[in-house]
Structure 1
């Protein structure tokens, strides 16, 4: 269209004739050859611009393909991390079941047999009586150790009572271990019907955060918030868990020797969530995880596992 307009204007005003009259006195400078030269220059610039345009289009296509490939690899990485965590939790669940069903039952039988020996030898064989008491004490000790192992493998109450109750039990356990620290747990929202992967991720997040408190802030005030946004709100059911303390804090610019934060980040990001850390020396420590709601949709869950063996009973 621009070319047609230029041609019409040139034909109307006789541009070539005007140019000839203006340049005929400068024939010795060959100014009348400029139109052809400028045409070639314009054609060359147009070709160069077209080539750059095509190269930029190819570069955009390559970049878009690379971004899609990166997104695909990131999604695969998250899927593999999620499968690894699920496999790890499944193995822990299996070990908890085996400890309870197999080893626990045999220890219970040992305790009962030792109690029977104790009763039969109370008056006749003092040495056997003392030995049976020692066996019962050993069996009780092993039972307690197994109970502690099962609690680490599978959180108490998570399958039967849900995430909030399991959190309360976890915090109560840390209150007993750290009497100089104060703990405040706030739960807001509906946490029923979530997948096992989401429940265990949120629980392990709080568990690891409180483990850090026990290492670096044993006399601090700790606040734990577990919040789920309303389904019709701006975040549409997003789950947010925060653990903050007013302990000595840390300089995050320096490398840390432990792998606890790395494990937290892997678990949260495997579910498509966000993991944030904030701390300064002398200003406490803050850990925050934001998990999208779609990972909490119900699924077919694995049957619940007894998580704590019964205390051996003597006859």
Structure 2
């Protein structure tokens, strides 16, 4: 039943209560006018042997019972309305967040494509042109005895340019590649990810405790873990301004269920509680964990920084 119908029922119930109150009041005045109690008492006195004079009390008890029953149903209905309203508000909030996340993903895709096109044109294209010019100059340098225009000089420049292109190509491939969980052990892939991130941010002290339990994971969980940690590290490098980061991944047993626990702690600037609901990074991380029936929690630390915690159910 839709929430509008529940509200309509509630409004109709209030109207009916007012009508019943007015009707009972009118009937009460009629009873006073005809002196109904004495009339019934005299009439029931003729049938004392079959206890008809007790029927009014029975009817009163039945009325009280029906009133109590109706009251209980109204309380339950109000609770259900409240729960449905809360659920509908949460669903609407999730829909807004999902739409915002979709727009953000499309925006990031377009920005990444534009960035890659610029890299290919401005960087790799420039060095390829330099290689072509140096190679052409080699043909002219055989007759020139100037050391600055010698074959060895142009060969060194070609080697330098080729090395730059090779490194640039590796960087682009690293940005474009999927999560390497299908080609290697998940724990190994995560260790490589953390190592590469630390090489780019050597000023941040890392405390790593990654348990080797990849045999328990499905491919979807492997990708979720990898992207979750990748997104968390990206957020830390962009926004946290942290000096210390702790990453823990281990298998635990909670209420008889085996779970994978991921915990990432930093001592950065933290966040404003009002902003996290629509933070694209946080929304994306939460969506990934929800997709594997996990739980996601993020909170400010007592001193500074934040703690990100996720628990994913896994099968032994």
CA contact under 8 A between 2:299 and 2:307: conserved in structure 1? Answer: yes
**Structure 2: any 5+ residue segments left out of the alignment?**
1-36, 43-52, 114-124
CA contact under 8 A between 1:117 and 1:132: conserved in structure 2? Answer: no
CA contact under 8 A between 1:184 and 1:222: conserved in structure 2? Answer: yes
Q: Which residue in 1 is equivalent to 2:269?
A: 249
3-state SS of the aligned residue for 2:214?
coil
3-state SS of the aligned residue for 2:310?
strand
TM-score in terms of structure 2 length:
0.55
Q: Which has the higher contact order (CA 8 A, sep 6+)?
A: 1
Match of 1:42 among 58, 61, 67: 61
Deviations 1:18-40 (A, max 9, x none): xxxxxxxxxx9668456343243
1:187, CA displacement in angstroms? Answer: 1.7
> Where do residues 120-131 of structure 1 align in structure 2 (5 Å cutoff)?
123=142
3-state SS of the aligned residue for 1:254?
helix
1:167, CA displacement in angstroms? Answer: 1.4
Residues 155 and 227 of structure 1: CA distance in aligned 2, closer, same or farther (over 3 Å): farther
CA contact under 8 A between 2:297 and 2:310: conserved in structure 1? Answer: yes
1:228, CA displacement in angstroms? Answer: 1.5
CA contact under 8 A between 2:135 and 2:158: conserved in structure 1? Answer: no
3-state SS of the aligned residue for 2:207?
strand
3-state SS of the aligned residue for 2:273?
coil
Match of 1:240 among 261, 271, 274: 261
**Structure 1: any 5+ residue segments left out of the alignment?**
1-27, 96-106, 298-315
Q: CA RMSD in A?
A: 4.9
Q: Which residue in 1 is equivalent to 2:294?
A: 273
> Where do residues 1-315 of structure 1 align in structure 2 (5 Å cutoff)?
32=41, 35-48=54-67, 123=142, 140-154=163-177, 157-192=180-215, 194-229=217-252, 234-245=255-266, 247-256=267-276, 258-280=279-301, 282-294=303-315
d(CA) in 2 for partners of 1:228 and 1:194? Answer: 11
d(CA) in 2 for partners of 1:141 and 1:178? Answer: 21
TM-score in terms of structure 1 length:
0.55
CA contact under 8 A between 2:296 and 2:309: conserved in structure 1? Answer: yes
- 170-179 or 213-222: which moved more? 213-222
d(CA) in 2 for partners of 1:219 and 1:47? Answer: 65
1:194, CA displacement in angstroms? Answer: 2.7
1:206, CA displacement in angstroms? Answer: 1.2
1:143, CA displacement in angstroms? Answer: 3.7
1:195, CA displacement in angstroms? Answer: 2.6
Residues 29 and 196 of structure 1: CA distance in aligned 2, closer, same or farther (over 3 Å): closer
Report how many aligned residue pairs link the two structures. 237
1:198, CA displacement in angstroms? Answer: 1.2
CA contact under 8 A between 2:268 and 2:304: conserved in structure 1? Answer: yes
CA contact under 8 A between 1:238 and 1:290: conserved in structure 2? Answer: yes
1:182, CA displacement in angstroms? Answer: 0.8
3-state SS of the aligned residue for 2:249?
strand
